[in-house]
Amino acid sequence: MLKMIIADDEQIILDGLSMSVDWKSYGIEVVSTATNGIEALEAVKQYEPDIMMTDIRMPGLSGIELIKRIKEISPSIKTILFSAFQEFQYAKEAITLEAMAYITKPLKKEDVIKEVLKAKERIYQERKKVEHRNKLEELHRKSLAVIRESFCNHIIMGKIPSMEMNGKQFDLYGIHMREKDIGVMTFQIDNFETFVKDSFDSTLYMVQIKMIEIINEVMASLDKIIFISYRNEIVMLYNAKEEYKLMIQTMIKKGEKIKVRIEERLSIKISIGMGRIYPQLKDVKNSYEESLKALNYRLIYGQNIVIYIEDVENHDSSSNHIFDDLNNTLLAVQNLLLIGDYDNISILIHEKASAIYQYKSVPYYYIQQVYCQLLSVLLRSLNEFDIQQDELLGIPTNLYDQLFKKSTYEELQQWYLDIVKRACKRISERKEECISHTVTLGIEYIKNNYDRDLSLTEVADYVGLNPSYFSRVFKIETGTTFVEYVRKVKIEAAMSMLQSSSKKVYEICEELGYNNVQYFSNIFKNAVGVTPNEYRKVNETYSKIDN
């Protein structure tokens, strides 16, 4: 609905124009009327109309002066002038002021409607043009952003040919940076998998946009480009503007400010990795890879931290060989956990610890890294048996948080072995529960299918175990072998049928899954002490005596 204001110093004309036409049926609402130029101007300021109809001669402000003032306030308002005067000068001024129409009095209803509808059509045409232009501009902006992001990703991946790496490319993509002395900072959300599990993709995108706003805010004085590289990765390329060491110190301080503000405003924790500053654009790939490498040290130093690559790489590498067989140790611990063998895990951990402790130069965070991996193995083992972390300590807790709170080798080792001891006990209990349940399933299957030739493999497949293993646990649980138990169930069924039915022995033999009557009679006699026929006669005799 378009808005229109009508102004005329003659009330009768004013009423006629506003009330004799059903303007709303034309999609137009008369929001105000005015009897002088001053009132009309105030109404324009208040209602912001789309169309203004006004008489030329009015007290306060003339129609011509009113239109001039309106154009200063809102140039897009369409104006229609009317007057009893037919002087050329008025028409000329109306054209100069880009009025939509100049109508002479006496006014004809159809002429007024015609000119107002022309103004309406012009408004809609202009709005469509503006909307189309805005869409094109937005498309261009988004396309440029996508192309710029792609270009930057190609830079950090080392996929831009050297001859194309120059300031002209930066200008082309709207990147306001020099093509030298560039460093990389990479920002990642901590506990990302937990975060995305509880969020929609749109939520993640909005969070990343707000993170970029905060990074821009803190880094306002730098020449830089910030972009989303991967799902949990915001990357910033920046130009160094100070001496190398001072610039690194400045960036670490700014990084600390960023993570604090993000936590305060978005209630999320992030970590920031920093690569070295390189003199040439082609080496930005190295800085990016270093920033990711620095972020990997969160496993050692903990989360919610700013990590500069040189701070974590300056260690004595002479002791690195003691970690060469770490994978074998982890595999051994995993296998021992699966059988709940705490004693041998304890021996293994003590041996490994002794080998590590003799090298005094091994940084403590290396030891933490080893125990992080050992803890990861333990948690995977718990998961295989559907055991929750809370079951070990009796309270909800984060074991990784506890690990990083340990301040000495000995304290860390004792803590881990205590957790392992609890885990082995719970795993052993769970295995017993699983075995009892498995054997129960097997017995039920036998009782429901004794009427055919049952094999160990068939029942083992049904309960989901290896036949050999199922045979062992079945013997432990029942005190008898699988074959003996199946035979026992069949004999009990035969005894029941011999007592309660008149079926022939060979019929009972077939119903129990035996193909040979003689064989059936032999195993029946071995189990009961008499043949099937003798057993039936004895029961018939006892039945007569009872009667």
Mean pLDDT over 33-37 rounds to 92
Query: How does residue 399 score in pLDDT terms, banded at 50, 70 and 90?
Result: confident
DSSP string, 245-262: HHHHHHHHHHHHHHHHHH
Lowest-confidence region among 57-61, 346-350, 357-361: 357-361
Which of these ranges, 39-48, 314-323, 350-359, has the smallest mean pLDDT? Answer: 314-323
What torsion, rounded to 10 degrees, do the Cα atoms 446, 449, 454, 459 define? Answer: -50
More confident residue, 139 or 473: 473
Check the CA dihedral 45-46-52-56 and report its sign. negative
Does residue 450 carry a pLDDT above 80?
A: yes
Residue 190's pLDDT is: 87
| CA distance linking residue 279 with residue 520, whole number of Å | 92
Alpha carbon distance, N-terminus to C-terminus of the chain: 103
Average pLDDT value for residue range 453-477 = 84
Model confidence at 535: pLDDT above 60: yes
Who has greater pLDDT, 394 or 300?
Answer: 394
Does residue 454 carry a pLDDT above 50? yes
Q: How do the domains of the chain map onto residue ranges? A: 2-128, 162-313, 317-426, 449-546
Residue 193 pLDDT exceeds 80: no
> How does pLDDT run across 110-164, given as a tens digit for each residue?
989 999 999 999 999 998 988 888 776 666 666 666 777 888 888 888 876 555 5
pLDDT at residue 141, rounded to an integer = 63
The more confidently predicted of residues 363 and 382 is 382
C-alpha closest to that of 134 among 142, 146, 123, 145: 142
354, 440 in Cβ contact below 8 A?
Answer: no
- Identity at 15, one-letter amino acid code: D
Of 76, 79, 73, whose CA–CA distance to 6 is shortest? 79
Name the least confident of 114-118, 152-156, 196-200, 240-244: 196-200
pLDDT at residue 316 in the model: 43
Instruction: Say whether pTM exceeds 0.75.
Output: no
Structure confidence at residue 397 (pLDDT): 75
**Is the per-residue pLDDT at 197 higher than 80?**
no
Q: Given a cut of 60, is residue 169 above it in pLDDT?
A: yes
User: b/e per residue, 447-466, with b = 16+ CB within 10 A?
Assistant: eebbeeebebeebbebbebe
- CA-nearest of 62, 52, 59, 81 to 9 is 59
C-beta neighbour count of 530 within 10 angstroms: 13
Q: Is 70 exceeded by the pLDDT of residue 365? A: no
Q: Is the pLDDT of residue 319 over 60?
A: no
| Residue 539: its H or E element | helix 532-546
CB 364 within 8 A of CB 403: no
Compare 372 and 275 and report the one with higher pLDDT. Answer: 275
Encoding tokens for residue 111? 């002429």
Question: Has residue 453 got a pLDDT over 60?
Answer: yes
Rounded to 10°, the helix 63-73/37-47 angle is 20
Return the C-alpha torsion angle 47, 52, 54, 56, nearest 10: 120
Give mean pLDDT, residues 177-193: 89
Write down the CATH number for the domain with range 449-546.
1.10.10.60
Q: Which of 2, 238, 267, 291 is nearest to 119 (CA)?
A: 2
Non-local CB neighbours of 513 within 8 Å, separated by 6+ positions? 450, 451, 452, 453, 454, 490
CATH 3.40.50.2000 given to domain 162-313:
no
Q: List, for residues 52-98, the tens digit of each pLDDT value.
A: 998 888 888 888 888 888 888 888 899 888 877 665 566 566 666 77
Looking at the chain, the whole-number percentage of residues with pLDDT higher than 70 is 86
Nearest residue to 43 via CA among 74, 84, 12: 74
> Where is average pLDDT lowest: 200-214, 240-254, 260-274, 323-337?
323-337
Quick one: pLDDT at residue 361?
A: 46
Q: Phi/psi class of residue 394: alpha, beta or left (left: φ > 0; alpha: ψ in -120 to 50)?
A: left
**To 10 degrees, the CA torsion angle through 334, 337, 339, 340?**
170
Task: Name the fold adopted by 2-128.
Answer: Rossmann fold (3.40.50)
What is the structure's pLDDT at 368?
Answer: 77
pLDDT in tens, 411-439: 888 999 999 999 998 888 877 766 677 88
Q: Mean pLDDT over residues 195-223, rounded?
A: 87
Same fold, 2-128 and 449-546: no
